[in-house]
Every structure is written in structure tokens, then in C-alpha cells.
Amino acid sequence: MTDTSWTERLAEHLGVLSSYIDQDGRVRATSPETRQAILTALGFAVSSEQAAEERLHALLDEGRKRLLDPVVVHERGAVHPRIRAHAPRRGGALRWKTEIRSERGRVASRDGLYDSAGPLEIQAPDLGVGYYDVRVTLTGRHGELRANQTLIVVPPRCIGPSDLLGDRDAFGVTANLYTLRGRENWGIGDTGDLSALVDWVGGIGGSFVGLNPLHALLNRGEDISPYGPTSRLWRNPIYIDVARVPEFRESPALAAHINSPEIAATLAELRRPDRVQYEQVWAAKSLALDTLHDEFLHRRERDATSPRVAAYNEFVSRGGKSLHDYATWMAIAGSSARSPARLAHAAWRSVSIRTWPSARRERARIPGRTGTFFSAALRSARPPTRIRTSARTGACPR
């Protein structure tokens, strides 16, 4: 055995770095205590070097029995990715086929013949940065074997300002969207306020607006931090500007109600405190969104081929199981009921909050216009116990 301990080898095999570079550019070594804590969090607690050696050998044996590793990270550079398969060494020659599907649905296929004692290595095409679904199929005289893998192609480093700007100077503004106070918002900054901010920054020559994470939250109690979201994949509908939802124009009764002195006074009271009153704001806004969702359903009944309905259907189709699981989760968390109507409503809110960023991205492509970027939380919050035990649908936000 070398100077490297079995615990260090186990940690390295599981992807625990022995050192890292901090935000000031200094190399920091991972302490043994930190390494042990991370191994324990991953479910690989070891009390001795012998235990670490046994766990490592067990993992290596398990890996040799798998046709494909479930996840592979490849750093993009001069060398193309290689799909490494642990093919059976007995049974004669095998026909192999690989399909690599990109996030946009494009598929690259290759096939060939394998007749070797070593591992099967398939060279992939030059893939750009992103996530890819890899499927390998082996066919021989004893039948067919299939396996899937997630291939993640990453850049050598994060993109820096000089990569985007070159030698040009640029300035912009960073803001927490929830702190913006427009004259017409509902007590929390929304996409309408963001549009105004982007226009103002662009008007004074700015190039960007940076924002806090806009991830989904329950908007109540302690579930209000943008850095401990319910899901990092979907956005928080509390940021929807109700007046800009397309169905608002088709609901004159709601518009009249919102513009009434009574509701205007309620909204002014929500805007008054220095701190965002999340529960009260969401209670008021969700009632309005309920009405607008009903209007959307009426529109769909009248004209199932309208552009708005088509956009919703495409959004739901692209969201797939991830969106269904998120909508299920939010329906359970919001009303302890998993009805189709609640699921559809959660999905509709998701497509409504997506409308603004997509339109703004189109505008940001125009030279001289101001673009936006969003930071991201590093994790999702652990779901509350009462929701976790009542949700028996397999739905879990990410």
C-alpha cells in the first residue's frame, strides 16, 4: 500500500476532492474530518482503514459488473469523449450500437463489432457542453444487453467576464428581485418591476442585470429563502406580474376587482412593510392566479388550437416527468390534495412565470440591449416531514 490511505482512496473513488481552489485562488486541502463527514453524508461511513478497504473493493466489484457507469463527467477539450462499456468476456463477438441524445433531442448513433478481451471503448463525436443521455446495446448469441448513462460534458473552467466581453468595459446591476418596490406590485418585486429595471439599466448604458435565484418556494414559514428552494428546476410563481398574464386581458371582472379601492388599499398595505410578507402576498396573488387559470381553461375549451394553449401543451410536454412530479409536490404541499385540477394549475403557473424570461432573452440577443442572468442555489431544501410522509406518489422535487 502507498502513502495514500484506504479512506482517501474511497473518497477519491466517490468523487470527494482532496483539495479545492477557493474564491481567492488559494488551494485548500480537504481535512480528514471533512472527508469522513462527506463520506458519512454519502452513506459510506467507515470506522477504520479495513472498513474503507472493504467498501472500496465492493464498489469496484459492483462497477465491473455494470455494463455502463450511471454517470460520467467529461471535460471538453482536444480529446473526444469515450463511452466505456464493461462488455461480457465470454460468448463470442458482439454487435454494439450506441445512441447519444442531446438536451435538444438530437441523436448521434454509431455501431460496430466487438471481439476483444478488453473493455469496449466507443469514441463519441465532438460534443458541446451539456447533458447527454447515452444508450448502449450489445447483441450476441446469448441475447441482448442494454444500459443507459448520463454523460455530462463540462468546460475546463467557468466562463469569466473576459470570455464574453473581450477587452470591452461593461457595467450592470445586481438585485434581489423580491426587494424591488414598484408602485403597482403586490408587496414583492415581480417580472413587471424587473422589466422596468432592465429598461432603466439599458437606458444608462448598462449591459446586464443579475438576480437572486428565482427557484420555486412554498412562500410560507421558513420556506422563503431563495437558497433553500423546494425545487431548483422550476421558478417561484410569486414573481408573476398578474397584470401581464395573457388571461388577465380576458378577465375584465378580475381587473375591475383588483382596481377597486378596497383591493388597492390591501395591495398598498402589502407594499408598506420593509420586509416581504410572503404568506400574505402569496395568499392574495394565488387567488388572482386561480381566477386566471380558470380563464385559461375556458379559453382551452373554446379554442384548443390557440397559440397560448399550444405553448402550454409544448411546455408540459417538454417538462415531462420532472414537471409532473413538481406539480404533484406543490399540489400536495398547497392543499393536501392531488387532484388533476391542482396539478394542471401548478403546471400553468410554471409556464406563466417562464413567459417573461423567454421574451426577455429574445430581446437580449439584440446588440446594445441589456441581458439578465440568474444565480442558482446549491441545493434544494429537505421537504417538511408532514408533506414527506403524506406524499406517496413518488414525486420529489430536485
User: What's the confidence (pLDDT) of residue 392?
Assistant: 31
The tens digit of pLDDT for each residue in 297-345 reads 998 999 999 999 999 999 888 888 888 888 888 888 875 444 566 667 7
The tens digit of pLDDT for each residue in 200-231 reads 999 999 988 999 999 999 999 989 999 989 88
The tens digit of pLDDT for each residue in 11-26 reads 998 989 888 888 777 8
Q: What's the whole-number average pLDDT of the chain?
A: 83
- Residue 190: pLDDT band (50, 70, 90) is very high
More confident residue, 376 or 175: 175
Would the pTM of this model clear 0.75, i.e. be above it?
Answer: no
Question: Is pLDDT of 275 > 70?
Answer: yes
User: What's the confidence (pLDDT) of residue 270?
Assistant: 95
One-letter-per-residue 3-state SS of the chain: CCCCCHHHHHHHHCCCCCEEECCCCCEEECCHHHHHHHHHHCCCCCCCHHHHHHHHHHHHHHHHHCCCCCEEEEECCCCCCEEEECCCCCCCCEEEEEEEECCCCCEEEEEEEECCCCCEEEECCCCCCEEEEEEEEEEECCEEEEEEEEEEEECCCCCCHHHHHCCCCCCEEEECHHHCCCCCCCCCCCHHHHHHHHHHHHHCCCCEEEECCCEECCCECCECCCCCCCEEEEECHHHCCHHHCHHHHHCHHHHHHHCCHHHHHHHHHHHCCCCCCHHHHHHHHHHHHHHHHHHHHHHHHHCCCCHHHHHHHHHHHHHHHHHHHHHHHHHHHHHCCCCHHHHHHHHHHHHHHHHHHHHHHHHHCCCCCCEEEECCCCCCCCCCHHHHHHCCCCCCCC
Locate CATH 3.20.20.80 in the chain.
161-390
The tens digit of pLDDT for each residue in 354-366 reads 654 444 443 443 3
Which of 215, 153, 198, 213 minimizes the C-alpha distance to 359?
Answer: 198
Question: Is pLDDT of 384 > 70?
Answer: no
Question: Is pLDDT of 379 > 90?
Answer: no
The tens digit of pLDDT for each residue in 109-122 reads 999 998 877 778 99
The tens digit of pLDDT for each residue in 232-262 reads 889 999 999 999 999 998 888 888 988 899 9
CATH 1.10.10.350, domain 66-156, yes or no = no
Question: Is pLDDT of 165 > 60?
Answer: yes
Average pLDDT over residues 25-35: 89
- Residue 381: pLDDT band (50, 70, 90) is low
- Residue 89: pLDDT band (50, 70, 90) is low
Locate CATH 2.60.40.1220 in the chain.
66-156
CATH architecture for segment(s) 161-390 = Alpha-Beta Barrel (3.20)
Which of 278, 262, 164 minimizes the C-alpha distance to 217?
Answer: 278
User: What's the confidence (pLDDT) of residue 354?
Assistant: 65
CA 75 and chain centroid, separation = 21
How is residue 325 written as a grid cell?
412530479
More confident residue, 142 or 280: 280
